[in-house]
């Protein structure tokens, strides 16, 4: 019985192809197929322009009435923040386009797909 359960060194040898350099190289050099991303071009997003903001207490807000003015944190003429789904895309200025408001992009922030919101 002892003779049958003894393993020989040959039982543990691996195939020489397992360690061959060309097998690894072939895996690294095979390019992934380019995916068609045109589907994402059709997805709707929510674009907003942020003029300015202010932080105030609820007490101050409840004391306000018609005609009161809230001073904001931006100067007149400063660019507006352009946000896409809440994430900062860049800055721009308001323009008129055929009697409607529009925005001219002045600066585009570095974009990523992390989903981080500023």
Average pLDDT on 13-40 reads 66
Q: Which residue has the higher pLDDT, 10 or 75?
A: 75
Rounded to two decimals, what is the model's pTM?
0.55
pLDDT given at position 32: 80
pLDDT given at position 97: 94
Q: Which residue in 102, 74, 85 sits closest to 93, CA to CA?
A: 102
- Which 3 state secondary structure label does DSSP give 80? strand
Q: What does the alpha-carbon distance between residue 79 and residue 21 come to, in Å, rounded to a whole number?
A: 57
Q: Which residue has the higher pLDDT, 118 or 48?
A: 48
Helices within the chain (DSSP H only)? 2-5, 21-29, 58-62
Q: Are 101 and 94 in contact (CB under 8 A)?
A: yes
Q: What angle do CA 11, 15, 18 make, to 5 degrees?
A: 135
């Amino acid at each position: 019985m002892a003779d049958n359960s003894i393993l020989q060194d040959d039982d543990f040898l691996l195939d020489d192809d397992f360690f061959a350099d060309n097998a690894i190289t072939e895996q690294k050099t095979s390019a992934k197929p380019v995916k068609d991303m045109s589907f994402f071009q059709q997805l709707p997003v929510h674009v907003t322009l942020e003029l300015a903001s202010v932080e105030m207490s609820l007490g101050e807000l409840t004391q306000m009435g018609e005609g009161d003015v809230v001073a904001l944190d931006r100067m007149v003429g400063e660019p507006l923040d352009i946000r896409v789904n809440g994430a900062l895309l860049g800055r721009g200025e308001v323009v008129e386009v055929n009697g409607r408001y529009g925005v001219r992009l002045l600066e585009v922030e570095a974009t990523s797909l992390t989903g981080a919101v500023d």
